[in-house]
Amino acid sequence: MTCNHIYEDYKSCKPDEECGKSKPKHPKPQKVLLECGQGTGSKTFTSTEDTPFQLANVTVDTTSLNKPEVVIKFSSLVRLEKIENAPRTVTLKYELFRTYNNEDEEPLSLGTWMFEKADDLQERFVTLEESFSFIFCEKLNCLGCCSYFVKVTPVEITNSTATVSDGEMAALTKTLRYPLEDNCKACSPIYDNIFIPKNFKSKDTILACGQGNGGIVFKDSGLFLPADIAHVTIDTSSLNKPKVLIEFSTIIKISEDADAILQFELFRVCGDGDPVSRGIWKFEMTKSEELVNKAFSFIFCDCNVPSKCCEYFVEVTPIEIEDDDDIDEEDDVTVYNGRMIALAQSSKENFHYDYYKTCDEISDCINRKPLCDKPKEIVLECGSGTGSRTFTSQSEEPFQLANVTIDTTSFCKPIVNIQFSSIVSFELTSEEIMGGEASIQLRYELFRKCDNRRVSSLGVWEFEMTNEEGDQALRTIEGTESFDFTFCEHITCPGCCDYFVTVTAIEIIEGPQVISIATVSNGRIAALAQEG
C-alpha cells in the first residue's frame, strides 16, 4: 500500500504531536470480516496413482463489499512413514483454488506450494510428522460468493506412505465503506442510490496479542511433564455470538541422535470454567540422527465461544524423547519462541451502541477496570514477496523475502499482528571418507521501520539442518517444507510502518565432497492493526 496522511475525509484523525496523548476522532473506516472454514478429514497416499484430496475449504461472501482484499490462512499436518529400510522420496503438491459464484465453472488455481522429503539413507527418518502452513492474499475485481479450497496431489512417492490431515482454513476480508464504482453494479445490483450496499452488516472485531512462556527443554532422562508454551487472553463480552481465530507458531530444536514425539494441545478457559481441549496437533521425528531446528504452527477457528473473558493456551507434552545411539550422551528437545494471537468477531451483526453501556458494569478480566473490551476499527494490509534466493555460502548478503506496509497514523497506541509464511528447500550431501559434514543454518529476522525512525529488529527465527558423515560413502538429504510464524506487538508511537523479513545464511558448510544448499522462496506477509 501507499501511505497517505491527508485523506480528505479524515483530516480530523491526525494525532497530536505527542503521540502518546493522541486521540484520533475515528480511524479510517475499514472492516474486516472473518470466515471460518473446515477440514475434510485425512488421506493416506501410497502412490502417484492415488486421487488428489481436498484437505480444507472456506467460503467468503463478498456481495456487499467494495473491491475486497482476501487473506487466506491454511494449516495442516503431514506424516511420512517408511515402508522398509531403503531410500525414500515423497513429493506432495498443495494447490489453492477459488470458485466464483457459479459452481459449474472450472476452479481457478491461485498458487502451489510443494512439500518434499528425499534421502538415500537406509535406516534414517523412519517416521516424520510436521506442520505445513501458508497464507495467501488477493484482491477481487468483482463481487459474489467465493469458495476457496486446498487440494493435495501426490507427485512422487517411493518407499513411503504420506498422510495429510488436520486441514484448517480461515479467510479475512478487508472491506472499504466507500461509494461503489459503477462497474460494480453489474456484479451485484443491490445498492441504493448512492451505491452503499443495502445488506452491508458490519461485525465487531477484537484483536489480542498473546505471549510466549519462554523456552522449554525436554531431556530423555527427565520427567515427561506437560508445559504451557504460549497463551492469549481475549475479552468477548461485548460480542454477539463470537467466533475466535487462534494462530500459534513455535520453533522445535532436536539434538543429534534424539527421537522425539511431541503433542501440542490447545485449551480454552472462559470465565470461571474449567479448561476445555479444542484440538491436538502432533510433531514426530524418529531415526533422524541429525541436529534439526524447524518451525511448527497451526491455526484454529473456534465457533460459538461464550461472550465472556476467555484465555487460550497451548500445552506441549513430550510423548517420547529417546536416545537413538549407543553413546552415553543426554539428548534433548527444545521448544521455544512460542507465539500466539487471537482475533474475535461477532457471528451476527452489531449490537446497538446502547448495549456497550453495560460494559461499564463488567469487570475487565485483564486490567480489572470497570470496562470490557469494546470492538474497534481494524486495518488489514496485504504485503508481497520479493522472489527467491539460493544460498551456497555463508558469505552471501541477507535477502529480503517479503514486506508489507501498514498505516497506523489514525490510531493512538495500535496493536499490530504480522503473519508470515514461506518455503525453504535444502540439499545436504556429506562424505564419509573425507569426514565432511553438511550443514545449513538460516536466520529469519522481522524488522519494522516507521516513518523516518530507525529500523528495529523485532524477532529472530532459525531454521537448521545437518547431515553428518556416516557409514555410507555419500549421504544425501533433500527437502522442501514451510517456514512460517506469527508476531504481535503494541506500538507506542504510530505512523506509516514497513515490516519486512530478511533471511541470512549463518552457516553453510562447504567442502570438496560436501554439498550444502538452501533456497528460500514464496514469501508472503500480511498485517492487521487495531487500536490497543
The pLDDT tens digits for 40-88 are 999 999 999 999 999 999 999 877 667 788 999 999 999 999 998 888 8
Query: Would the pLDDT of 357 be above 70?
Result: no
Residues 73, 59: contact at Cβ < 8 Å?
Answer: no
Question: Which pLDDT band, with edges at 50, 70 and 90, does 505 fall under?
Answer: very high
Grid coordinates in use for 163?
498422510
Q: State mean pLDDT over 443-469.
A: 92
Domain 205-347, CATH 2.40.37.10 — does that match?
Answer: no
220 Cβ neighbours under 8 A, 6+ residues apart:
258, 321, 322, 323, 330, 331, 332
The DSSP output letter for 45 is E
pLDDT value for 467:
81
**CA 8, CA 477: separation in Å to the nearest integer?**
58
164 alpha carbon, distance to own chain's centre:
18
228 exposed, middle or buried (CB, 10 Å; 0-12, 13-18, 19+)? middle
pLDDT value for 100:
79
Mean pLDDT of the chain: 83
Of 393-402, 408-417, 431-440, 492-501, least confident by mean pLDDT is 431-440
Question: Which pLDDT band, with edges at 50, 70 and 90, does 140 fall under?
Answer: confident
Look-up of cell digits 540439499: 427
Numbered ranges of CATH 2.60.120.760 in the chain:
205-347
pLDDT value for 11:
39
**CA 354, CA 362: separation in Å to the nearest integer?**
14
**CA 212, CA 250: separation in Å to the nearest integer?**
9
Q: What share of the chain is helix, strand, coil (3-state, %, to 5)?
A: 5, 60, 35
Q: What CATH code would you report for 376-531? A: 2.60.120
Query: Would the pLDDT of 432 be above 70?
Result: no
pLDDT value for 349:
64
Grid coordinates in use for 13?
484523525
> pLDDT tens across 185-243, in order?
333 333 333 333 444 455 688 999 999 998 999 988 778 899 999 999 999 988 888 99
Percent of the chain with pLDDT over 70: 77
CB atoms within 10 A of CB 502: 18
From start to end of 394-514, where are the E strands? Answer: 399-407, 414-431, 438-450, 456-467, 474-490, 496-508
Grid coordinates in use for 117?
522429503
Q: State mean pLDDT over 246-273.
A: 93
Q: State mean pLDDT over 246-259.
A: 91
Q: State mean pLDDT over 114-125.
A: 81
Q: State mean pLDDT over 81-102.
A: 90
> pLDDT tens across 277-298, in order?
999 999 999 877 778 899 999 9
pLDDT value for 368:
44
Q: What kind of architecture, by CATH, is found in domain 26-177?
A: Sandwich (2.60)
Question: Which pLDDT band, with edges at 50, 70 and 90, does 328 fall under?
Answer: low
CA-closest candidate to residue 281, choices 268, 300, 294 = 300
Q: State mean pLDDT over 365-376.
A: 50
